Amino acid sequence: MKHGNVSCTVAMDSEKETNMEHNQNQNQNQNHSNQNQNQNHNPPQLPPMAFLGLSLVTWQTLLIIAFPLIYGSFSRIRAVLLFIRHPLKSMEARRNDQTTTSRVKDKGEETPPARRYWRLQTVFLGVIIVVHCVRFMGENPRASNPFRLTKQLLNVPSSTLATSLERYYRSQGLKEMPAEQERLIRKLNTLDARLLYSTLGPAPFLGCSWCRPPSSKANGSDHLYFSLARLGFEYASLLLVVGLMTTGASQLNTKRRVWRARLGFLTMFVFVFEAVLLSLLVRIPSLLTAMDSARMTWDALFLFRSALFALFFLAAWWAVVSEPPRDLLTPSAKLGFGLAALASDLDSLVNRLRLTALQRTALMKDGDYRTRIQQFWEKVERQATQASSSASIESLKDTMGLSASEMKNHEARDQLRTWIDNVYPDPSLSLSASPSPNPPSL
């Protein structure tokens, strides 16, 4: 019995072990299936990219922190490379620099100061840029182009264009269409007018009162002349602003003089190019064949012109502020020295006036001198009376036609004055020479 019981227990234990192994195998199979499902649902993740054992984020952080040091060491890196390439030449250059600096220190010469960027030209540039931006915002043709606002083609019917514009302005919160836009749409009632509008912009249609509507007889020449006149005024204003910003460019070989000439030639070249381009587009009808809303030559030229004007303003400003100063004085120091020189000149003038007044007072206290002055003026009066009562002078005046006050013979009057000066010379303070009682005859 005991042996039977033991065999039963052994059989039961073996069944339990087999069941446990079966359960473990099932669990392992389930785990493998779950892992396979997870791998199918989630794509394989790439390992993080690294360089020299550090991730890219770490390298980025290190570069940001070390950027000032790297930027400051560019000159040193260049010097090291030059030394490696030409060691003897770099040493000689270093020695020459040391000798020149020592000579400058021995002579007592001062190096020129740093460039002064904040000058009057900077304030003037700011004002000009503000005015230019305001003009760009107010006259930008893209903001009021009906074909761009409604995204319609150039050959769209006028009623459809007006309806689309009204719908657009209602979406912008406006109850009515602007008056200028309505007037522009009324004038763009033909395809020729719309093609001309895409080339010359809205100014000839809104501002020109003598321009004839484009047709077979009038091919848009009036609108072209009006646009070219406005264009010439804009480029003349650009030349005026550049000239004002580069004031003081009268001396040769100065940076502002060179850049003023360059900007002037470039301005004239761009104006001629734009005028020729517009003339060709207007005069040759075969070039006006585009029918889509993307063909807006005037809009593109306006953007190009605005950017070019701003670039010219900056170039003129930079030509002035980057020019090294002619002397070592600042503008405030120059003003101080100028005021000091003016005060010194005024002081010397006052001293000279005081000295003249003292001399006159001292001379007038001398009785002999006062007597001679009185005799001098008496002699002048006698000569004037004698000259006015002389018969020869009266006859000479009648001969020259100077007796009548209506006659204004300046040449004869000058001849008579010369003769009187020769006959009656200016009296002097010396009373030794007595006047001749009888004047010489003519």
Domain C-terminal end among 52, 82, 98:
98
**Quick check: is 59 in a domain?**
no
Residues 245 and 373 in one domain: no
Checking if the pLDDT of 349 tops 70, the result is yes
232 vs 408, more confident:
232
Is 27 within the bounds of a domain?
Answer: no
pTM: 0.50
**Is 248 within a domain?**
yes
Instruction: Please tell me whether residues 300 and 396 are part of one structural domain.
Output: no
- Among left, alpha and beta (phi > 0; psi -120 to 50; other), residue 151 is left
Residue 81 inside a domain? The answer is yes
Q: Judge if 312 and 173 occupy the same domain.
A: yes
Domain-located, residue 305: yes
| pLDDT, position 33 | 55
pLDDT at 288: 53
| Same domain? 399 vs 294 | no
pLDDT given for residue 347 in this prediction: 92
Contacts of 203 (CB under 8 A, 6+ apart): 226, 227, 230
- 333 vs 343: CA distance, rounded Å: 15
Q: 309 and 393: one domain?
A: no
Most confident option among 175-184, 277-286, 323-332, 379-388: 175-184
Which residue among 267, 292, 321 closes a domain? Answer: 321
> Are both 407 and 287 inside the same structural domain?
no
Judge whether 400 lies within some domain.
Answer: yes
Does residue 185 sit in the same domain as residue 295? yes
Q: Over the stretch 254-300, which tens digit does the pLDDT of each residue have?
A: 788 888 888 999 999 999 999 998 888 888 765 554 444 456 788 88
Q: Which two tokens stand for residue 97?
A: 């620099």
How many Cβ atoms are within 10 Å of 128's Cβ, its own excluded? 19
Where does a domain end: 263, 295, 321?
321
Residue 311 tokens read as 């670039």
289 and 160 in one domain? yes
Q: Percentage of the chain with pLDDT > 70? A: 59
Mean pLDDT of 372-391: 78
Residues 145, 90 share a domain: no
pLDDT at 267: 93
- Distance, in Å, from the CA atom of 145 to the CA atom of 157, rounded to the nearest integer, reads 16
**Residue 361 placed within a domain:** no
DSSP state of 286: G
Q: Say yes or no: 171 and 239 in one domain.
A: yes
Domain that holds residue 192: 127-321
Q: At what angle do helices 255-283 and 191-200 cross, to 10 degrees?
A: 170
Find which of 94-98, 131-135, 377-381 is predicted with most confidence, using mean pLDDT: 131-135
Would you say residue 302 lies in a domain?
Answer: yes
Q: How many domains is the chain partitioned into structurally?
A: 3
Q: State whether 265 and 135 are in the same domain.
A: yes
217 and 180, same domain (yes or no): yes
